[in-house]
Amino acid sequence: MKPARIQDSVHSIQYSELRIQDNGKLSLAKTIVTVVLAFIILSTLHSPLITWAAQQPTDRPIYIGDIIKLEIAAGDYLPEYIRECFGDFEIVELTEVSGGYQLALRAIAPGEYHALVGDKEIVITVASTLDDITREDIFPGGSQVMAAGLYIPWPLVLYSLLGILMLFGVFLLIKLLRQRKTKLPPPYQVFLKRATALPLEQDNYFVDLTLYFKEYIESLYHCRIKGKTSAEIIDKLHELPPLAGLLAEAEKWLKECDRLKFTGLEVSTEQKQQHYTWLLELVKRIDADTYNRQKEGDS
């Protein structure tokens, strides 16, 4: 019976050694797994977290011109680095937020783009609407005539306005020429009409009669004598050679009118009529003398 006990003890010792070896292998495996998990967790915490701004993916592909919005949870990167990572895109907006960035991109050409941010690679596939069209034959046209949009033929409008302006200018020119051809009545006829219509009963009869005489001289010789005294008028008339033989009579009539106007004497109708007839004869002689001089000049 003793040898059997010794053999049982040997088997017990061998079994205990086997259990110790197995426990050692399990502890080593746990240690390795723990180290690997810790490394993965640390790597994940260090690398940026990139998510799409849209919470639900869309079935429609990304086309040229679409705005792609990304959220990058990596506050330790500079904006210049982010722009460099997405250099193949048009960066519409780059906003720095708490703990990262909000990025809005737009592609200008179709293709597959790779952007490496830290140790994270982003793959964005941009499609083209032309590539999605698989039809190779000609699209059938509709028989319905569509209404044309508003079209203004500006050259035609400008030419029309130019033609209207030219016609208006020709009309004004013809009217001006007709007015020039219409001869004004001679100064003598104007004086005679106004002086004849002047009533003898008017209080300022001699004032108006003198005014008509001054306007007649101005129209005939193109000089300025209105507003001047009788003496100044005579001095001005001395400068006109055609009136040299009539200056004495004109000066006498002007002085007589001044006497009747400014002395306060009561003037009868007969006196007004006499001075009117006197002035009328003087104006007739001036007009006749002017006509004769013009006729001599023409011959």
Residues 6 or more apart whose Cβ sits within 8 Å of residue 206: 257, 260, 261, 267, 272, 275
CB-based contact 106:68 (threshold 8 Å): yes
Q: Kindly report the pTM of this predicted structure.
A: 0.41
* pLDDT above 50: residue 202: yes
Confidence of residue 139 (pLDDT cuts 50, 70, 90): low
Length of the chain: 299
- Alpha-carbon distance of 285 to 275, in angstroms, equals 15
Which has more pLDDT, 7 or 291?
A: 291
- Per-position DSSP letters for 62-76, written without gaps between them: EETTPEEEEEEE-TT
236 CB neighbour count, 10 Å cutoff: 16
Query: What pLDDT, on a 0 to 100 scale, did the predictor assign at position 5?
Result: 40
- Alpha-carbon distance of 104 to 85, in angstroms, equals 13
C-alpha to C-alpha distances, 128 to 67, 105, 122, 192, nearest whole angstrom: 14, 16, 20, 97
Mean pLDDT of 273-292: 87
Is the torsion defined by CA of 241, 188, 216, 254 positive or negative?
positive
CB-based contact 258:234 (threshold 8 Å): no
- Alpha-carbon distance of 16 to 87, in angstroms, equals 66
CA-based end-to-end distance of the chain: 187
Mean pLDDT of 119-143: 76
* pLDDT above 50: residue 6: no
Confidence of residue 161 (pLDDT cuts 50, 70, 90): very high
pLDDT in tens, 104-128: 988 888 888 888 888 888 888 888 8
Which has more pLDDT, 5 or 201?
A: 201
Whole-number percent of the chain with pLDDT over 70: 72
- Alpha-carbon distance of 223 to 204, in angstroms, equals 25
Query: What pLDDT, on a 0 to 100 scale, did the predictor assign at position 42?
Result: 42
Which of the 8 DSSP states describes residue 141?
Answer: P
Helix (H) or strand (E) holding 123: strand 120-127
Residues 6 or more apart whose Cβ sits within 8 Å of residue 12: none
Least Cα distance to 205 among 284, 261, 270, 263 occurs for 261
**Exposed, middle or buried by CB within 10 Å (0-12, 13-18, 19+), for 169?**
exposed
- Alpha-carbon distance of 213 to 8, in angstroms, equals 171
Which has more pLDDT, 247 or 57?
A: 247
Residue entry with tokens 């040229």: 64
